[in-house]
Chain A
Amino acid sequence: MIAPSFFAAVAAVAIIHATAWPMTGHGKIDNATLVIRDGKIASVEAGGAPPADAQVIDAKGATLTPGLMNAATQLGLVETGQADETNDMATTNATLGAAFDVTYALNANSVLLPVARADGLTRAVSYLSGSGVVPFTGQAAVIDLNDTPDIVDQPRAAVYAQVGSASLSGAGGSRAGQWQLLRNALSDARDALKLKDAKPVREQQALARVLDGTVPLVIMAQRESDIRQAIALAKDYGIRVVVMGADEAWRCADALAAAHIAVVLDPMDNLPISFDQIGARLDNAARLDKAGVKLAFYSSGNPIYLSYNAGLGMREAAGLAVANGMDYDHALAAVTRNPAEIFGIANHYGTLAPGMDADLVLWDGDPLEPSSAPLKVFVKGVEAPLVTRQTELRDRYYPAPKPGELPAEYRK
């Protein structure tokens, strides 16, 4: 059993002697003191004295970062591969289209969530991988990985559309169809909303929030030509577009930067795994970053990492981006502040600034080294258990029972 949270919030917590990365654009703070009060960050300063009423944690120089955020997972929507009835990350129901909303399916008791949290993830986008109405796959939610039944941070945080070879069949076999269907849907919604007695259908209600700039339209695309189409679409409709996948985005880095289009990508992608990804390369992130494109990371190059290792896979990917030329603090931003800004939660998460939710992780090493792990994780000011189903299996079977002892299955 994973016990319900008995890590109740205390009045104040002070973490002292930390090497803190506040992600506020001024590098790191050595010997930092960070104070948590009422679930929020009260202060971060070098050498600060802990308040008298605070529980004090001595970080002994360990690295302290915001809790990390993965910009594309299916956490809360998937449980066990191949057992389809446990998975809710796609629908074949042809009536929902852009209106399809993952929020209704989110499962806070999923065993994937504690694994992601124990790897340092405290926020995640949970998105849909396919739907019956091409090109839309539906609306994603931002979740926070606190240890309660309510994990929704931001419902309907973005509308998703997919173009390219992965979803051609639904558009009749040509990506020209995908783009025209997408443009038609946006035009129809815009026209319908202009009418005096507007009665937009559900999909148009979802698109209304894209058209008025409330949420971004995330276009999943890999090939350069599709990314350039996404840039053109953003301009034509005056909407906020985010490109996800984007393996060939480095080929149009300047155009993306000029259009202020953010990119969600997997820095591990470097294989020409499909004809859409012939230009995939390990320095995609570094090149986009240098061009000034805002980046957020996820990890799908190895499909198992998308959700089952949503924390570790993303950290490994971010480390790989640094190994291939990206500035370290920019890579950290791509797993904290940047996704928060892209998905509309930057007013309460993403940096270690006073007033922000106290999502933080104290690390046993460099957070971008996948061999490192969190020492402590706080979500909204509450220290989260680092117990997972896997650590329980580990502790049950290791060390192995000696002859004469009850079998491992009798251990708790």
Chain B
Amino acid sequence: MKRFGLRLAVCALVGFAPTVHAAVKARPAAIELPFMAGVPVSTYHPLPRTDLLIRDATVLDGDGHRFDNADILIHDGKIVAVGAHLVAKPGVEIVDAKGRWVTPGIIDPHSHDGTYAMPLTSVDNQASDVAETATPEEEDTWILNGVNTADATFIYALRNGVTTLQVLPGSTPLMSGRAVTLHPIPAPSVTDMMVPDAPAGAKMACGDNAKLHFGPLNQKPNSRGAEAAMLREAFTEAKAYRDAWVKYAKSGRGAPPERDIKLDTLAAILDGDLRLNIHCYRADDMNNWTRIAHEFNFRITAFHHAVEAYKTPQLFTDNHICAVVWSDWWGFKMEANDGIRENAAILDHDGVCVTMHSDGPVIGQRLNIEAAKAAGAGRRLGLSEPPEHVITWITSNPAKVLGLETRMGSLRPGFDADVVVWSADPFSIYSHADLVLVDGAKAYDRFDPRYQPKSDFQLGRPAGEEMQP
């Protein structure tokens, strides 16, 4: 009981410390808080693997370093060392990477793969799995239940160096639901793709989307004012719900409060057990929602899209919020009119944790090029953007967004061996991901058909996805 109570106190004080939770927490107390109940345990297992020594590569380690002619030793799915002239024991497979580049696997913190599943048809037009859109408050939906694990887009992402991605529910509802973090390795069950012990995320959306969808249907919200009001109303209710449960769990007396799985999600956000990702474009919107987060004492992990983040960088540094941005999207809606290509570079220069993201399967295959474009714009503004730093925008920084920075996103000893061997400088349009390792196992090899997965849909059809090296 005592330890349980202490943990609650820590949560109330810190509220939002990045915590890594097993899906079902071992609590000493007899009465468990239900807010994270039902989250499935990962059934992912690494693919078959042998130990590897990658030799003679130009290495960008994801921690800001560049090593030329370096070796990377991988044992039991973990990075053992990065250095010169590493020696392999017998039986270790050697990968000659002379003239090639090696980086950590790319992490996409904002994907809709599996829900924006190929091919899109009139069925998706009628009812898409990207998001439940019946009401603006769908926080009880978990996108893992909507993921089509056979979607070809996972494979396209993998083939281009993505080793981990966060699938978020779509941004039509104000409160969009829970996210899931996956390895893009297709399997029959979504739990087979779930990154083990990954912190869970949730998604909300500010601004135009909810009001433009529900307003014309004569539903609330039809304004930003109502969006903020609904957010405050929901968290007022969630706070009372959480307090009632905490009181019940501590005392062990009386009848349990009535379960409400919508409020579970919000209570878990209040407890810091769900990392909050908010779709938001305008600087004023991001400031408003941050203020509401302060009022209810929950943490915002990242603003996604954030096209006007460069107008308000201090909001991000003061509140330790990451900015998840595109390189060059703008103009496609009113709230995206002020997008600039230097957004990432300016934020980075100001000390903001900045990451690229895909939001769709086309650039989900080229996050390295997204980073290259954003860095190029920064260089022209006079901001130094060497490749060993730019790589952090698609590796170690998105690992922070997912709460996985203690085990992936860089090539540190002991970290998961999620590794890409690139044919050339990964920030060149001419480069290819030659070899993609997930937990030290070959998940894709551009030169070996044994490691080239193909989606079920494309079987028996004149599909065009095979690549000719």
Q: Which residues of A does B touch, CB under 8 Å?
A: 79-83, 111-112, 224, 247-248, 250-251, 268, 270-275, 277-284, 301-304, 308-309, 312, 316, 319-320, 322-325, 364, 368-373, 390-391, 393-394, 397-398, 400, 408
Minimum Cβ distance to chain B for residue A353 (Å): 28
Q: How many A-B contacts at CB < 8 Å in the complex?
A: 143
In the complex, the 3 A-B pairs of residues with the closest C-beta atoms, listed nearest first: A281-B464, A371-B376, A319-B429
Q: Using an 8 Å CB-CB cutoff, how does the interface string of B433-469 with A read, 1 for contact, 0 for none?
A: 0000000000000000000000001100111111110
Contact A271 B118 (CB under 8 A): yes
Which A residues are CB-close (under 8 A) to B331? 79-81, 111-112, 304, 308
Contact A372 B464 (CB under 8 A): no
Report the separation of the CA atoms of residues A394 and B381 in the bound assembly, to the nearest whole angstrom: 9
B328 within 8 A of A: yes
Which B residues are CB-close (under 8 A) to A370? 369, 372-373, 376, 429
Report the separation of the CA atoms of residues A274 and B117 in the bound assembly, to the nearest whole angstrom: 10
Which B residues are CB-close (under 8 A) to A112? 331
Which A residues are CB-close (under 8 A) to B212? 82
Q: Which residues of B does A touch, CB under 8 Å?
A: 118-121, 152-153, 156, 208, 212, 310-311, 313-314, 328-334, 336-342, 346, 350, 360-363, 365, 369, 372-373, 375-377, 380-381, 427-432, 457-458, 461-468
Contact A271 B428 (CB under 8 A): no
Which A residues are CB-close (under 8 A) to B339? 390
Report the separation of the CA atoms of residues A248 and B463 in the bound assembly, to the nearest whole angstrom: 9
Report the separation of the CA atoms of residues A112 and B331 in the bound assembly, to the nearest whole angstrom: 9
Report the separation of the CA atoms of residues A369 and B330 in the bound assembly, to the nearest whole angstrom: 20
Which A residues are CB-close (under 8 A) to B375? 371
Contact A81 B332 (CB under 8 A): yes
Minimum Cβ distance to chain B for residue A400 (Å): 7
Minimum Cβ distance to chain A for residue B20 (Å): 34
Contact A273 B346 (CB under 8 A): no
Contact B461 A278 (CB under 8 A): yes
Contact B156 A322 (CB under 8 A): no
Contact A277 B119 (CB under 8 A): yes
Report the separation of the CA atoms of residues A275 and B152 in the bound assembly, to the nearest whole angstrom: 13
Given A283-B468, A398-B346, A272-B462 contact (CB < 8 Å):
no
Minimum Cβ distance to chain A for residue B61 (Å): 21
Which B residues are CB-close (under 8 A) to A304? 329-332
Contact of A82 among B119, B121, B333, B464 (CB under 8 A): B333
Of A247, A281, A397, A400, chain B has the most CB atoms within 10 Å of the CB of: A397
Contact A271 B156 (CB under 8 A): yes
Contact A372 B376 (CB under 8 A): yes
Which A residues are CB-close (under 8 A) to B464? 247-248, 250, 270, 272, 278-281, 284
Minimum Cβ distance to chain A for residue B460 (Å): 11
Contact B429 A272 (CB under 8 A): no
Which A residues are CB-close (under 8 A) to B156? 270-271
A-B contact pairs, 27 of them (CB 8 A): A80-B331, A82-B332, A250-B464, A270-B365, A270-B464, A271-B118, A271-B156, A272-B457, A272-B465, A274-B120, A275-B119, A275-B121, A278-B463, A279-B462, A279-B464, A281-B467, A301-B362, A304-B330, A308-B330, A309-B328, A370-B372, A370-B376, A371-B376, A373-B377, A390-B340, A391-B340, A394-B342
Since A81-B336, A322-B429, A397-B311 are in contact, a sample of 13 more A-B pairs with Cβ atoms closer than 8 Å, ordered by chain A residue number, is A79-B331, A80-B334, A248-B462, A272-B458, A272-B463, A272-B464, A279-B463, A281-B464, A308-B332, A370-B369, A370-B372, A370-B429, A398-B346
